[in-house]
């Protein structure tokens, strides 16, 4: 395996009912909390009443900032920073899925960012060297309600610049790891089928990025088996949780799987580019498509793209070990799994069309291509390759 430096300081409190500990946990890191969540939180029932009461019991002052939407924007983060300043918050609590948790991180980092525009902390170009990552942040505590991004256990945030229609990420292990995560799988039991399915596919996507991009010249036996087990677990449990949404045990499996898919455990020592995410981000920015759905269509197209290539040994291994089939047949089976779960399998289902291909390719190039004029993956991909993959996804 490759050399690596592993670090993950996030304290995880896992289990049904752990929300009751919110106040005690938050009090270890701050006294005035800004609670960040979606514009519409009605589907959470009495969740925020419980959080408020727990904070009050621990003497924590709090204010709510309910203004985040799917595919959060720079504008939402800036408004959150203004709210932070207004109430004098010294800690942020993110309550929601990846969109909320990621925006919470950007707000927290923005409060300590010494540069005039928080856009410069985001990697909106992989080629021009303009990014200046944050080095400090207000502390955050996360309460995930969607088992998908694993943002509660990693130092990454994804956000969209609505002015330039660019969606990208900031990775800052020095300051973006949450201090703690209260992970209650029962919070996801009211998720609709579509969101549940997209979440599971998001978890799979995080894992296969590392799997498909594995270095052929090193021993990845351990990582391969860890990743295969995680993917197989999600594939086996996704139909169960869709059929029985109230099954907290299965919800717990899906919630923890999403966290460990991107907390460094299964990726350490292997190649960790995320080219499918780069192409999926473009779809999210252009069509406001659900993140897990954009990744599902990209996985399918990616597997089709490599069916006839000679450098596809990782894909062939994936097909044989996970499905016991050829790459072509495994691709068809995975596509059927996605379709049966109610998630789009084509970019046309997300709003794209043939006439959009050139625009989508240009979007990938301007954000994700390196100085070498290619998209980092294994193997590296050209502009023509990207166009081919998007066409396979039509």
What letter does residue 392 receive in the DSSP assignment?
H
Domains and CATH numbers, the chain: 11-187 (3.40.50.1970), 191-392 (1.20.1090.10)
What pLDDT band is residue 293 in, cutting at 50, 70 and 90?
very high
The answer to whether residue 386 scores a pLDDT higher than 80 is: yes
Instruction: For residue 2, give the 3-state DSSP assignment.
Output: coil
Q: What is the pLDDT of residue 322?
A: 97
CA–CA separation, 124 and 106 (whole Å): 14
pTM of this prediction?
0.96
Q: Is the pLDDT of residue 1 over 90?
A: no
Q: How far apart are CA 194 and CA 293, in angstroms?
A: 9
From start to end of the chain, where are the E strands?
11-14, 32-38, 61-68, 91-96, 140-144, 156-161, 166-171, 180-183
Residue 272: pLDDT over 90: no
Residue 34 has pLDDT above 90, yes or no: yes
pLDDT at position 270, please?
87
Confidence of residue 250 (pLDDT cuts 50, 70, 90): very high
Task: State percent of the chain over pLDDT 90.
Answer: 94
Reported for 310-317, long-range contacts at CB under 8 A and 24+ positions apart, including other chains, are: 311/379, 313/216, 314/211, 314/212, 314/213, 314/214, 314/216, 314/378, 315/212, 317/224
Say yes or no to pLDDT of 73 above 90. yes
Mean pLDDT on 81-106: 98
Q: Which of 308, 303, 285, 327 is nearest to 392 (CA)?
A: 303
Query: Considering the chain, what is the average pLDDT of its residues?
Result: 96
Band of the pLDDT at 180, cuts 50, 70, 90?
Answer: very high
- pLDDT band, residue 2 (cuts 50/70/90): confident
φ, ψ for residue 235, nearest 5 deg: -60, -40
């Amino acid at each position: 395996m490759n050399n690596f430096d592993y670090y993950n300081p996030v304290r995880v409190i896992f289990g049904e009912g752990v929300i009751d500990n919110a106040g005690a946990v938050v009090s270890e890191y701050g006294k005035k909390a800004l609670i960040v969540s979606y514009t519409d939180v009605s589907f959470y029932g009495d969740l925020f009443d419980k959080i408020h009461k727990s904070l009050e019991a621990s003497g924590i002052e709090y204010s709510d900032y309910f203004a985040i939407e799917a595919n959060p924007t720079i504008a939402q983060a800036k408004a959150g920073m203004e709210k932070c300043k207004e109430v004098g918050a010294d800690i942020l609590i993110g309550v929601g899925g990846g969109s909320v948790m990621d925006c919470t991180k950007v707000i927290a980092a923005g409060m300590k960012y010494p540069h005039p525009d928080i856009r410069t902390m985001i990697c909106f170009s992989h080629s021009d060297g303009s990014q200046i990552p944050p080095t400090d942040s207000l502390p955050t505590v996360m309460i995930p309600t969607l088992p998908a991004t694993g943002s509660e256990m990693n130092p990454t945030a994804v956000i969209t610049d609505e002015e330039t229609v660019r969606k990208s990420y900031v990775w800052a292990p020095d300051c973006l790891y949450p201090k703690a995560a209260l992970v209650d799988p029962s919070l996801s039991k009211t998720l609709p089928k579509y969101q549940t399915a997209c979440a599971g596919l998001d978890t799979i996507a995080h894992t296969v990025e590392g799997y498909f991009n594995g270095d052929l010249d090193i021993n990845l036996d351990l990582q391969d088996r860890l990743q295969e087990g995680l993917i197989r677990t999600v594939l086996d449990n996704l139909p169960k949780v869709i059929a029985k949404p109230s099954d907290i045990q299965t919800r717990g499996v899906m919630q923890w799987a999403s966290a460990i898919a991107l907390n460094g455990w299964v990726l350490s020592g292997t190649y960790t580019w995320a080219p499918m995410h780069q192409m999926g981000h473009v779809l999210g920015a252009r069509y406001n498509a659900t993140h897990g759905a954009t990744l599902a269509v990209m996985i399918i197209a990616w597997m089709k793209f490599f069916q006839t290539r000679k450098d596809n040994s990782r894909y062939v291994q994936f097909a044989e070990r996970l499905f016991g089939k050829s790459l072509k047949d495994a691709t068809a089976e995975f596509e059927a799994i996605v379709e049966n779960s109610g998630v789009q399998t084509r970019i046309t289902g997300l709003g794209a069309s043939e006439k959009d291909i050139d625009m989508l390719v240009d979007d990938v190039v301007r954000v994700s291509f390196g100085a070498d004029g290619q998209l980092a993956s294994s193997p590296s991909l050209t502009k023509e390759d990207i166009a081919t993959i998007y066409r396979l996804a039509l």
